Amino acid sequence: MKYRVMVTGAAGQLGHDVVKIFQAGGHDVMACDRDQLDITDQQQCREKITAFQPHIIVHCAAYTAVDRAETDEDMAYMVNVTGTRNIAVAAEKVKAKLIYISTDYVFDGSATRPYQEYDPTNPQTVYGKSKLAGERLVESLCTRWFIIRTSWVFGVHGSNFVKTMLELLVKRPQLQVVHDQQGSPTYTVDLARIVSELSLTEKYGIYHVSNSGTCTWYEFAQAIAEEASKHNRFQLRAVIEPCTTEQFPRPAPRPQYSVMDHLAIRTNGLKPMRTWREALIAFLNELSVQQSE
């Protein structure tokens, strides 16, 4: 069946791949970036969604500047909470399924085992608090919803840790990367596949979605250097050294441990995600192709 699918934040690194996967599936996609839709304007959201009558809305638009949110609290809440409410209310009016993209930052990072979907949340940052508030509005205002929490996202269409590392590995002789924060990287192509797969079901609820396996930022950086060195396109020179979080203080505290257990993926019979290392290799191949075009 062909569905009408609306994607907010369509120019972002995840939104871009979500649009691509639904278009490849033959669906009618309305790709909305901030130029086409101001999610903080309730009337505009209602009019746009009422006119298109989507079956599915994938809400990727978000305020994601984690450090800036600490001093720009009102804007973070306006986008992540007010904006999400506007989309949720309009989605419910047309009986659309709503997929809300959330984050590992809803947890405090003090766990010693992977976080499951219904573990208690305890965000420590303005960003995390605003995204959790968005989750709660989706749960309370919609009858057909999926909340997808993800972490350490990377894709070819935006800025992210992998791209930053590739740039710095070329420019600098030495790099320090934190070795005391652990998580699970997520490739946007794989995340978009799960978004698409779930949206065509009625398996509503909260999902933790990341590539399989865990690493620290330092181990991730090492893997980036190792895999990128196999490509002639990347001329790397930097030596990577581990350091502590204390050596790199940031305005917003990072979760020390944000590994997510994929309990809902397993119990709903979905195919597990490939390892983050395999995803990294696929990303580097995709990036090479894009850069050579």
Active site residues: 127
Q: Residues 17-23: contacts with CB within 8 Å, 24+ apart?
A: 17/155, 17/157, 17/188, 17/189, 17/191, 17/192, 18/58, 18/60, 18/192, 18/195, 18/196, 20/192, 21/192, 21/193, 21/195, 21/196, 22/58, 22/196
- Cα separations (Å) of 53 from 3, 119, 210? 10, 35, 30
The helix/strand/coil state of 245 is helix
Residues 60, 109, 145: CA angle, nearest 5 degrees: 30
The helix/strand/coil state of 120 is coil
Distance between start and end Cα atoms, the chain: 34
HSE on the CB side for 128, CA within 13 Å?
A: 17
